[in-house]
Amino acid sequence: MTNMLLLGQGGAINPARVVLVASAKSTPIKRLLQATDPDRIFDLTYGYPREAVILFDNGCLALVSRTPGEVVGALHQPGGNDEPAPPWW
């Protein structure tokens, strides 16, 4: 089973496919969001303010309500290959 990172409120991502985690407030990331097909953007904020954007190896983007530092810290949490990583908030 793939080790999934739970994002709270029902969202989860595959950490092995993450290429980049960046602040949603940076101008280059805002431009990337504008240039990306809306069908390739997944809003995982659940109504909370957008703090970080996660870029995956297939070009999809995930919008999350946690800071880039929190996301990177969660990506580095130990978790076995056979069990999902624990929720990080």
Could you tell me the residue range of the domain that residue 32 belongs to? 5-75
Query: Total domain count for the chain?
Result: 1
User: Average pLDDT in the 77-86 region?
Assistant: 51
Which pLDDT does position 74 carry in this prediction? 86
Residue 67 lies in a domain: yes
Question: Residue 6: helix, strand or coil by DSSP?
Answer: strand
Q: Which residues contact 40 (CB under 8 A, 6 or more apart)?
A: 59, 60, 61
Higher pLDDT, 3 or 58: 58
pTM of this prediction? 0.82
Task: Please indicate, yes or no, if residue 89 is contained in any of the structural domains.
Answer: no
Q: How confident is the model at residue 10 (pLDDT cuts 50, 70, 90)?
A: confident
- How many degrees, rounded to 5, is the angle at CA 33 between CA 87 and CA 20? 50
